[in-house]
Chains A and B, each alone.
Chain A
Amino acid sequence: MLASLLFVGLGPQGTHALHASEQGAVSYNRDVRPILSDNCFRCHGPDSASRQAELRLDQHDSAIQDRDGLRAITPGKSAESEVFRRLTTSDPGERMPPTDSGQTLTAEERETIRRWIDAGANYEAHWSLIPPQSPALPEVERKDWPRGEIDRFILQRLEQAGLSPAPEANRALLLRRLSLDLTGLPPTLDELDAFLADDSPQAYERVVDRLLASPRYGERMALEWLDLARYADTNGYFSDLERQMWRWRDWLIAAFNSNQPYDQFTIEQLAGDLLPAATIEQKIATGLHRNHPVTNETGVIDEEYRVEYVGDRAETTAAIWLGLTLGCARCHDHKYDPLSQREYYQLFAFFNNVPEKGMITGTANPPPVLQLFSAAEQQQLQQFQQQRGALETAWKAAEKRLEQPFLAWQKTAAEALPAACPADAAAWYDFSDGGVERIGRSQPAKAVDRIRYGDGVRGQGALLDNGGHFEFACDFAPEPNSPFTLSAWIRPAAAQTGCILSKIEPAGNLRGLEVLWYRRQIRVDLVHQWASSAIELTTESRFAPHEWHHVAVTYDGSGKAAGLKIYVDAELQPARTERDDLSGPIVNDEPWRIGRKDETMGFDGLIDEVQIVPRELSREELSGVYSSQLVGGALAVPAEKRSSGQKQQLLEYYLRQAAPADDLNAYQRWTTLNKQQAELLAGIETTMVMQEMSTPRETHVLVRGQYDQPGETVASDVPACLPPLAAAAPRNRLGLAQWLVDPGHPLTARVAVNRLWQQFFGVGLVKTVNDFGSQGEPPSHPELLDWLAIEFVRSGWNVKVLQKRIVMSAAYRQSSRATAELIQRDPENRLLARGPRFRLPAELIRDQALAVSGLLTDKIGGPSVKPYQPEGLWEAVSYNGDYSYEQDHGSALYRRSLYTYWKRQSPPPALLAFDAPTRETCVVQRSRTNTPLQALVLLNDTTYIEAARVLAQRALLHAPGDEQRLRYAFRRATCRWPEADEAARLRELFKQERAAFAEHPKAADALLAVGEWPRDRSLDPLDHAAWTNVMCVLLNLDETVTRP
Chain B
Amino acid sequence: MPASANIAAEWTRRQFFSRSSVALGATALASLLPGDALATPSAAQGGILSSPHFAPRAKRVIYLFMHGGPAQMDLFDYKPQLKAQHGRDLPASVRGNQRLTGMTSGQKSFPVVSSLFKFSQYGPSGMWVSELLPQLGQVADKLCFVRSMHTEAINHDPAVTYLQTGHQLAGRPSMGSWLSYGLGSESEDLPAFVVLLSRGSAARPDDPLYARLWGSGFLPSNHQGVSFRSDGDPVLYLSNPPGVDGASRRRVLDALGALNRKQADLVGDPEIRTRIAQYEMAFRMQASVPELADLSRESEQTLDAYGRFVRTPGTFAANCLLARRLVERGVRFVQLYHRGWDQHYNLPSDLRLQCQDVDQPAAALIRDLAQRGLLDETLVIWGGEFGRTIYSQGKLEATNYGRDHHPRCFTIWLAGGGIRPGVVHGETDDFSYNIVRDSVHVHDLNATILHCLGVDHTRLTYRFQGRDFRLTDVHGRVVNEILR
Contact = CB atoms under 8 A, between A and B. Distances in A.
A10 B255 contact: no
Interface stretch (B270-278, B295-303, B316-324, B434-442): B270-278
A876 B235 CA distance: 14
A103 interface: yes
A10 B27 contact: yes
A703 B226 CA distance: 39
B2 interface: no
Contacts of A839: 23, 271
A108 to B, nearest CB: 12
A945 interface: yes
B85 to A, nearest CB: 21
A38 B35 CA distance: 11
Interface in A884-912: 904-907, 909-910, 912
B268 A820 contact: yes
Contacts of A1033: 252, 255-256, 259
A592 B370 CA distance: 48
Given A915-B221, A927-B22, A102 B203 contact: no
A1006 B243 contact: yes
A1033 B463 CA distance: 38
Contacts of A161: none
A602 interface: yes
From A600, A820, A913, residue with most partner B Cβ within 10 Å: A600
A927 B20 CA distance: 12
B114 interface: no
Contact of B268 (A823, A941, A1032): A823
Contacts of B125: none
Interface in B244-283: 244-245, 247-249, 251-252, 255-256, 258-260, 262-264, 266-279, 281-282
Nearest to A7: B27
B465 A327 contact: yes
A599 B251 CA distance: 58
Contacts of A931: 17, 20, 222, 278
Contacts of A5: 21, 26, 41, 43
A1 interface: yes
Nearest to A880: B205
Interface stretch (A181-189, A642-650, A772-780): A772-780
A401 B14 CA distance: 90
Interface string A771-797: 101111000000000000000000000
From A102, A293, A921, A1008, residue with most partner B Cβ within 10 Å: A102
Interface in A182-226: none
From A819, A872, A927, A1010, residue with most partner B Cβ within 10 Å: A927
Interface stretch (A377-385, A671-679, A686-694, A979-987): A979-987
B208 to A, nearest CB: 5
Interface string B82-112: 0000000000000000010111000000000
Interface stretch (B131-139, B153-161, B414-422): B153-161
Nearest to A1009: B242
Interface stretch (B71-79, B343-351, B446-454): B343-351
Interface in B459-476: 459, 463, 465-467
Given A467-B397, A877-B208, A878-B208, A308 B169 contact: yes
A823 B398 CA distance: 75
A359 interface: yes
Interface string A213-250: 00000000000000000000000111110000000000
Nearest to A909: B236
From B212, B231, B235, B236, residue with most partner A Cβ within 10 Å: B236
B466 A773 contact: yes
Interface string A4-19: 1101111111100000
Contacts of A652: none
Contacts of A876: 197, 209, 227, 229
B244 A1007 contact: yes
Interface in B384-419: 394-395, 397-400, 404-405
Contact of B248 (A774, A940, A1029): A1029
A299 B101 contact: yes
Given A5-B41, A300-B101, A939-B249, A912 B208 contact: no
Contact of B263 (A1002, A1005, A1008, A1037): A1037
Contact of A936 (B237, B262, B275): B237
B141 interface: no
Interface residues of B, number: 120
From B43, B241, B349, residue with most partner A Cβ within 10 Å: B241
A534 B10 CA distance: 57
B278 A932 contact: yes
Nearest to A1011: B241
Contacts of B349: 599-600
A985 B274 contact: no
A903 B256 CA distance: 34
B205 A496 contact: yes
Given A816-B267, A816-B269, A996-B247, A929 B101 contact: no
A1006 B251 contact: no
A764 to B, nearest CB: 11
A467 B39 contact: no
A176 B145 CA distance: 61
A880 B206 contact: yes
Contacts, number: 371
Nearest to B273: A1
Contacts of B203: 497, 600-602
Nearest to A519: B205
B26 A1038 contact: no
A1006 B245 CA distance: 11
Contacts of A1032: 252
B267 A103 contact: no
A905 B211 contact: yes
Contacts of A1029: 244, 248, 251-252
A994 to B, nearest CB: 11
A336 interface: yes
Interface string B320-339: 00000000000000000000
Interface string A989-1031: 1001100110010111111111000000000000001000110
B477 interface: no
Given A870-B237, A935-B279, A1032-B252, A11 B25 contact: no
Contacts of A2: 270
B279 A602 contact: no
Contacts of A466: 345-346, 394
Contacts of A271: none
B199 interface: yes
Contact of B394 (A14, A465, A1000, A1007): A465
Given A775-B467, A920-B170, A992-B251, A929 B20 contact: yes
A928 B22 contact: yes
Nearest to B215: A918
Given A773-B466, A878-B208, A1006-B243, A1 B277 contact: yes
A839 B247 CA distance: 29
Nearest to A495: B205
Contacts of A989: 251-252, 255
Given A328-B467, A941-B237, A921 B170 contact: yes
B232 interface: yes
A1007 B241 contact: yes
A933 interface: yes
14 contacts: A4-B22, A5-B41, A38-B34, A239-B208, A325-B465, A337-B466, A771-B466, A817-B266, A877-B210, A920-B212, A933-B282, A937-B236, A988-B255, A1029-B248
The 6 closest A-B pairs by CB, nearest first: A11-B31, A775-B466, A1007-B243, A3-B270, A880-B205, A299-B101
Given A1-B21, A1010-B243, 19 more contacts: A1-B270, A8-B31, A301-B154, A325-B466, A327-B465, A466-B394, A599-B349, A600-B203, A767-B28, A876-B229, A880-B206, A931-B20, A939-B279, A940-B237, A986-B259, A1007-B241, A1037-B259, A1038-B276, A1042-B269
